[in-house]
């Protein structure tokens, strides 16, 4: 099954637009595991098992594993998800961006080593830095477009004088991803929940692409505003990511049960405008 098909199937099956980000920080682990990087797999696997029926995707952030020399635990976690939640796609949050030959190796890392269904990429180096990932026809790639951090304004909001209409950089990228760059229908865009007006603008320019939307929960993005801006019936969907609010919902041995409660509440906050709801958002 191709990534986009798997994403749509998980969204329907679990009636969810929620993605749980797996950003394991041992300093914030439950009291009985606190500070123990050897428990990264155990912690993340417990979160996966507790939330696998209420999410449309999981999103492990590779730096949280690599910083603790825990790449082997990431491989173990990916295998665990494939065994225990095979219907849920996994987006490797790596934000890679490099020349073609190096990008080929990063693509092998994401798709062959870690068996991810999709990966996040930085498109700053242009189309040839994206193409190696698109040689995996069953996989997806999400390009950073309008990110949730304040510093995104430094580049993304700048106007391009040499492009007709002088679009802002994020607008130009959205057009490229919807058009010439998306040869096999594999691309999506990363747009931050903290900027719902920009999400709406990106949706105008890229009506068919899935959006990976970080920034709700701990970062303060509004769930309902996010989905209203980005989701369209029978067109582009949104994958709304929450990490810290779910992962660190409790510090006791009941941490996984607490994470499930927060994930369910977040899923329910998105449900009024989800594909399973009767009320569609006007396009």
Could you report the per-residue pLDDT of 133-190, keeping only the tens digit for each? 999 999 999 999 988 888 888 888 888 888 888 888 889 999 999 999 998 899 999 9
E strands, 147-259, where?
187-191, 211-213, 238-242
Per the domain annotation, does 148 fall within a domain? Answer: yes
Burial 21-57 (b: 16+ CB within 10 A, else e): bbbbbbeebbeebeeebebbbbbbbbbbebbbbbbbb
For the chain, the domain total comes to 1
CB 200 within 8 A of CB 230: yes
Per the domain annotation, does 281 fall within a domain? Answer: no
Residue 1's pLDDT band (boundaries 50, 70, 90)?
A: confident
Per the domain annotation, does 279 fall within a domain? Answer: no
Q: Which domain holds residue 122?
A: 3-273
Residues 6 or more apart in contact with residue 95 via CB below 8 angstroms: 120, 121, 122, 144
Residue pointed to by tokens 């105008």? 204
Residue 236's pLDDT band (boundaries 50, 70, 90)?
A: confident
Q: What is the pLDDT of residue 272?
A: 47
Give residue 15's region: left, alpha or beta (phi > 0; psi -120 to 50).
left
Per the domain annotation, does 167 fall within a domain? Answer: yes
CATH number of the domain within which 163 lies: 3.20.20.70
Per the domain annotation, does 172 fall within a domain? Answer: yes
pTM for the whole structure: 0.91
Report the range of poorest mean pLDDT among 46-55, 71-80, 190-199, 224-233: 224-233
Question: Catalytic: 95?
Answer: yes
Per the domain annotation, does 142 fall within a domain? Answer: yes
Tokens of 104: 């080929």
Which candidate, 201, 136, 190, places its Cα nearest to that of 19? 190
- The residue ranking higher by pLDDT, 127 or 157, is 127
Per the domain annotation, does 283 fall within a domain? Answer: no
- The residue ranking higher by pLDDT, 22 or 236, is 22
- Span 190-206, pLDDT tens digits: 998 777 888 889 999 99
Q: Is 84's pLDDT higher than 90?
A: yes
SS3 188: strand
Q: Is 92's pLDDT higher than 50?
A: yes
Tokens of 162: 């040499």
Tokens of 204: 């105008």
- The residue ranking higher by pLDDT, 213 or 235, is 213
Instruction: Say what the alpha-carbon torsion angle 212, 215, 216, 222 is, to the nearest 10 degrees.
Output: -90
Which candidate, 173, 172, 118, 110, places its Cα nearest to that of 2? 118
CA angle 59, 64, 66 (to 5 degrees): 115
Residue pointed to by tokens 């439950």? 30
Residue 220's pLDDT band (boundaries 50, 70, 90)?
A: low
Q: Which of 2, 6, 59, 95 is catalytic?
A: 95
Per the domain annotation, does 280 fall within a domain? Answer: no
Residue 230's pLDDT band (boundaries 50, 70, 90)?
A: confident
- Span 249-265, pLDDT tens digits: 999 999 999 999 999 99
E strands, 196-278, where?
211-213, 238-242
Alpha carbons 71 and 73: distance in angstroms, whole number: 5
Q: What is the pLDDT of residue 192?
A: 86
Give the rounded percent of residues in the chain with a pLDDT score beyond 90.
Answer: 72
The angle that helices 196-205 and 223-230 make with each other, rounded to 10 degrees, is: 20
Average pLDDT over residues 224-238: 76
Q: What is the pLDDT of residue 98?
A: 94
């Amino acid at each position: 099954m191709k990534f986009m098909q798997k994403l749509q199937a998980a969204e329907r099956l679990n009636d969810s637009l929620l993605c749980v980000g797996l950003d394991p920080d041992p300093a914030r682990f439950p009291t009985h595991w606190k500070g123990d990087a050897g428990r990264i797999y155990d912690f993340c696997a417990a979160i996966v098992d507790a939330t696998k029926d209420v999410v449309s995707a999981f999103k492990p952030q590779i730096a949280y594993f690599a910083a603790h020399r825990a790449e082997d635990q990431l491989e173990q976690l990916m295998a665990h998800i494939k065994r225990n939640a095979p219907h849920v796609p996994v987006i490797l949050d790596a934000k890679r961006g490099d020349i073609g030959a190096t990008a080929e190796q990063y693509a092998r890392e994401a798709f062959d080593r870690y068996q991810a269904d999709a990966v996040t990429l930085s498109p700053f180096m242009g189309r040839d830095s994206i193409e190696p990932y698109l040689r995996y026809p069953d996989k997806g790639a999400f390009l950073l477009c309008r990110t949730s951090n304040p510093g995104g304004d430094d580049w993304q909001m700048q106007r391009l004088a040499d492009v007709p209409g002088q679009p802002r950089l994020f607008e130009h990228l959205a057009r490229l991803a919807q058009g010439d760059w998306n040869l096999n229908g594999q691309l999506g865009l990363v747009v931050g929940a903290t900027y719902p007006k920009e999400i709406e603008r990106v949706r105008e320019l890229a009506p068919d692409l899935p959006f990976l939307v970080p920034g709700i929960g701990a970062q303060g993005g509004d769930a309902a505003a996010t989905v209203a801006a980005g989701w369209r019936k029978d067109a582009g969907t949104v994958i709304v990511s929450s990490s810290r609010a779910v992962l660190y919902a409790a510090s006791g041995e009941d941490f996984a049960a607490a994470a499930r409660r927060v994930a369910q509440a977040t899923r329910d906050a998105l449900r009024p405008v989800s594909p399973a709801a009767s009320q569609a958002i006007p396009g």
